[in-house]
A = this chain, B = another copy of it.
Amino acid sequence: MALIVQKYGGTSVGSVERIREVARRVATYHQQGHRLVVVVSAMAGETNRLLALARQVATHPSERESDALVASGEQVSAALLALALQDLGVKASSFLGHQVRISTDSAFGRARIRSINKDRLLVALDRGTIAVVAGFQGVDSDDNITTLGRGGSDTTGVALAAALSADLCEIYTDVDGVYTSDPRIVPHARKLERISFDEMLELASLGAKVLHIRSVELAKRYKVPVHVRSSFADVEGTLVVEEDKPMEDILVSGIAHDRDQAKITLLRVPDRPGLAARLFGPIAAAGIVVDMIIQNASADGTTDLTFTVPRGDFDKALSLVKGQESTIGAHGIATDLNVAKVSIVGLGMRSHAGVAARMFDVLAAEGINIQMISTSEIKISVVVDEKYTELAVRALHDAFVAPRTGDEPRQGSTP
């Protein structure tokens, strides 16, 4: 009999009927003798509805009030799930951030959890009560309501599992696991039974939207096994765990892609010390996350400096760069919004040489030009022209993960 934290996303609790379905699933676990903490997101669409109201009353809604406003969404779904559970004859209570107490810093809209008081939840569990916790929210030291930002309810789930030393954190979502690639691009992508925290981190940060990177980081730090699975089908999903045994035969676990990329190049910059600091200081100060940076020194003492940012930050980044252009001494700025990042991820790369070379070969064979390269111990990313995204993903998937067999249906894929 285990202590299990389950997290249900917005679509899983998107209607009264779905809340009742979730209640039945939770009650089944409860009847099996498990101790359960259930974290819920707001009903699908509710957060956007509330934010739309905020924008109707204020041109620039303040973060503190926006957090108090949207946190009501999880309050509603938590209370409704507790009611639905009680209706099935099991004991259940809802808990908000201030009731659990999930303490955060005061960074409204993107707060980070500082500590969780597990006492009240343990009292409930000891009484045989299912604790339904409103995800996404906490309180700062002044009792202000804070929200955790994107992927916040995943983070709540994993953080609670860590605080309670839960045996497992199940993340119920609208997909049934982590795939070797996006099935919309690679129809024969297969579901991974098991993946390491490190691989999942790379996949999460590279655009596989299944599990938010913050919750994976947290799971890795506190060694919380996470089971990503579907709330709409009763099948096993993907278990995200500590790397427990070498799986040398598996070189690459997955191919990820990310179209949310924009490229900025400063042309023929005098190659002097301090250049990067002067350029990227203001960009970091503006809260823009720079992803890849490459710099090629030329023989004439100048360098082309290229970096990528999320497309939503492109305009801001460009104006900051333009402000620095003359002091840095660049001879022009080039930009490209039609780029995408394609990555291969796998623990197996650590002990295999030549993976990068093989990756470049595969892309070259398809006539895909590589614009930028970035590598880590367990991943290799390349920036390519956006129009080659699907072609690159499919070619790399065939080469590294699972070659398409002849008898498999093509399902519209055009390799």
Contact = CB atoms under 8 A, between A and B. Distances in A.
Interface string A12-37: 00001001100100000000000000
Interface residues of A, number: 40
Contacts of A291: none
Q: Quickly give the copy total for this chain.
A: 2
Contact of A76 (B19, B50, B81, B96): B50
Given A16-B53, A87-B57, A75 B79 contact: no
Nearest to A132: B65
A126 B72 CA distance: 28
Nearest to A134: B68
Given A53-B16, A99-B143, A143-B99, A69 B76 contact: yes
Given A57-B19, A68-B94, A98-B98, A62 B80 contact: no
Contacts of A64: 93
A96 B82 contact: no
A85 to B, nearest CB: 9
Interface in A314-343: none
B80 A54 contact: yes
Nearest to A101: B143
Contacts of A65: 79-80, 82-83, 86, 93-94
Interface in A40-72: 50, 53-54, 56-62, 64-66, 68-69, 71-72
A241 interface: no
A376 to B, nearest CB: 42
Contacts of A53: 16, 76, 80
Contacts of A205: none
A303 B281 CA distance: 93
Which of A76, A94, A96 lies at the interface centre, i.e. has the most chain B CB atoms within 10 A of its CB?
Answer: A76
A84 interface: yes
> Which 9 residue pairs are nearest across A and B when measured between Cβ atoms?
A69-B79, A58-B87, A72-B72, A57-B84, A58-B83, A16-B56, A68-B79, A72-B75, A65-B79
Interface of A: 16, 19-20, 23, 50, 53-54, 56-62, 64-66, 68-69, 71-72, 75-76, 78-84, 86-87, 93-94, 96, 98-99, 143-145
Given A62-B86, A68-B96, A71-B75, 12 more contacts: A16-B53, A16-B57, A20-B57, A50-B76, A53-B80, A57-B87, A65-B82, A65-B83, A66-B79, A68-B79, A68-B94, A72-B76
